[in-house]
Amino acid sequence: MNDSTTNDFVNFELDGREKAIDFLNRLKFTNLASTVNPFDTFDLIGFSNKSEPCVIEVKTRNVNIDSYPDVLIEKHKFESLIQYTDLGFIPLYLCIYKDGIILFNLKNEKEKNLIVSPVDCPSTTVETKSITKKDCYFLKPSIKGTFKNETTNIT
């Protein structure tokens, strides 16, 4: 992995975090802060509009919101985030698309019978040319958690 690829990833990651903070602020979240390292377990920490502490993973996808019927999350990422419920945090998964945002409360998803599916994925977020099988869950977006551009102005 070269420095240019790493810098592109960091810039892409930081841009996604800025969009997420803007969106969450409009939902009345407060005290949002970004983690220091782009490879941390989660990307943002703050309080929900109900003053509940949250950890938030932000995933930016370069496709339209309705390109796929479900939203993929790697099993290890899901399990890393769900552990924060033991500390009193709400684990959120926020996916930014070209034309909208989907937001999941992973605590609610944990209660569903999620099935692990092996999926061919890029080996890492930075190095996308090599493919590896990763265990993933497919989450079903709800109408309540789906926000289209015309209602959010995320671009």
Provide mean pLDDT across the span 31-43.
Answer: 87
Residue 155 pLDDT more than 50? Answer: no
pLDDT higher than 80, residue 38: no
Whether residue 31 is predicted with pLDDT greater than 90 in this model: the reply is yes
The closest of 97, 4, 101, 80 to 35, measured between CA atoms, is 80
Encode pLDDT of 67-88 as tens digits: 999 999 999 999 999 999 999 9
Residue pair 26/152 in contact by the 8 Å Cβ criterion:
yes
Answer yes or no: is pLDDT of 66 > 50: yes
According to DSSP, the residues that pair with 47 across neighbouring strands are 30, 53
Domains of the chain: 3-108+140-152 (3.40.1350.10)
CA 107/CA 91 separation, integer angstroms: 6
Query: Is the torsion defined by CA of 56, 151, 69, 64 positive or negative?
Result: negative
Q: What is the pLDDT of residue 111?
A: 83
How many Å apart are CA 34 and CA 40, to the nearest integer?
10
Percent of the chain with pLDDT over 70: 88
What's the whole-model pTM score? 0.88
Q: Give dist(CA 155, CA 60) in Å, integer.
A: 12
